[in-house]
Amino acid sequence: MSDSSTKLPIDRVVGVVGLGYVGLPLLLAYARAGYTAVGLDIDPSKPEALQAGKTYIKHIPDSQIVEAQSAGRLDATTDFSRARDCDALILCVPTPLDEHFEPDLSYVVSTIESLVPHMRAGQTISLESTTYPGTTDEELVTRVEAAGFQVGKDIHVVYSPEREDPGNPDFAATNIPKVVGGVTPACLEAGIALYTSVFDQVVPVSSCKVAELTKLLENIYRAVNIGLVNELKIAADRMGIDIWEVIRAASTKPFGFKPFFPGPGLGGHCIPIDPFYLTWKAREYGVHTRFIELAGEINRSMPDYVIHRTMEALNSRGKAVKGSRILLLGLAYKADVDDMRESPTFALLDGFKRLGAEVTYHDPHVPVVGPTREHMEWAGMKSLDWTEENLRSQDCIVISTHHQAFNLLQLATTADLIVDTRNAMAGIDTPGGQVVKA
């Protein structure tokens, strides 16, 4: 599918709606490929930053934005009427869960409804937001057709799941194979042209539903296996076995085994959320996805396990959690990024505070807690400075994210008690009882 004849003509304008961790790299990819790239977002701070040549995502340097602007190929705005100027519109908006762990498609719905008045014949519309099978047909196609367009003739509608992995040095946006499904064969052809223009490999599938379920399978696979190893971690701990040593040994098998690693819970926008999009939709068909839901329950329980292990560790030193000074290392959900979406550290902050601890955090990638849907009470909290005095003053330090920026050798010589949820202290000489794995 990489034949240049299938590509979008270079004089076309590509719009990206939603300029977060998925949308911004995609916007820049089209600009680098020579297209005019227009970014749309309801948050004015993002277009303002891009217009000023500034990034707001740590692993994307200012230089990429300045380069695209200097070439006259990058624009960003909150004005959705600019959608009329675009030959293709790619929707990269959030699809969170509500308080009942059911899909919240409000961002998708409000976005398509904001775009429809400005659509014109000849455009291609692609949804990239992770969602349940049928969303593209039920939410996009119905609204496009209600506006008087014939899908497959006037407007081409496709679904292509994002596969962005923030901070992964081996895979950027364009060298990850791109799955795409279309509502009609003509839609699929338009989607292939849109994505072949910047992606090394495009993987066409027979329908939008297949593409939607593909993304869910990818992340359910990870969520279930992480749930399995999290459950084994608790069992191994009760048996006095180091689960990390077990995983290392099992990983020597050259076939039939892929290592997954335990932690304090799941984070990021995909793995903690995506499985519930399928469980919700499956109920419509009378299917109860017990295996997936069990993995979700286990993974959501892991912060409580870490808190329990911390209580045990403090009790062994004659201290109660209430009144103890506890420092959490790492607010981002994964190592070496600034992405704090769905981070299990928030659950740890909530839990320790509820128990009366004086809880703080340190994360060089997240110097200040930004606004979140579920944890607004922590917004504005600042990262505690990494100083010897601050480290020594803590009753317990919990490693919740293993950033390379942490000086673990210094931590070992200054901290009184370390609860390690990531096996970060492995290989570092520490006195007996200083490090507790959780």
**Residues classed as catalytic:** 270
Question: According to DSSP H, which parts of 239-357 are helical?
Answer: 243-250, 274-284, 290-315, 344-354
- 427: alpha, beta or left? (left if phi > 0; alpha if psi -120 to 50): left
106 φ, ψ to 5°? -60, -35
Contact residues for 30 (Cβ-Cβ < 8 A; gap 6+): 14, 16, 37, 197, 198
Using CA atoms, how far apart are residues 98 and 271, in angstroms rounded to an integer? 16
Residue of 269, 250, 275, 270 lying closest to 261 (CA atoms)? 250
Contact 87, 8 (CB under 8 A): yes
Centroid of chain to Cα 55: 18
Using CA atoms, how far apart are residues 149 and 147, in angstroms rounded to an integer? 6
Location of structure tokens 């990819």: 29
Residue of 82, 95, 9 lying closest to 39 (CA atoms)? 82
Contact 37, 48 (CB under 8 A): no
The residues facing 89 across adjacent strands are 15, 125
Could you give the C-alpha distances from 120 to 183, 190, 193, in angstroms and in order?
18, 15, 19
203 φ, ψ to 5°? -115, 100
Run of H or E including 14: strand 13-17
Contact 230, 302 (CB under 8 A): yes
Contact 216, 296 (CB under 8 A): no
Query: For the chain, what's the residue count?
Result: 438
The residues facing 178 across adjacent strands are 202
Contact 398, 265 (CB under 8 A): no
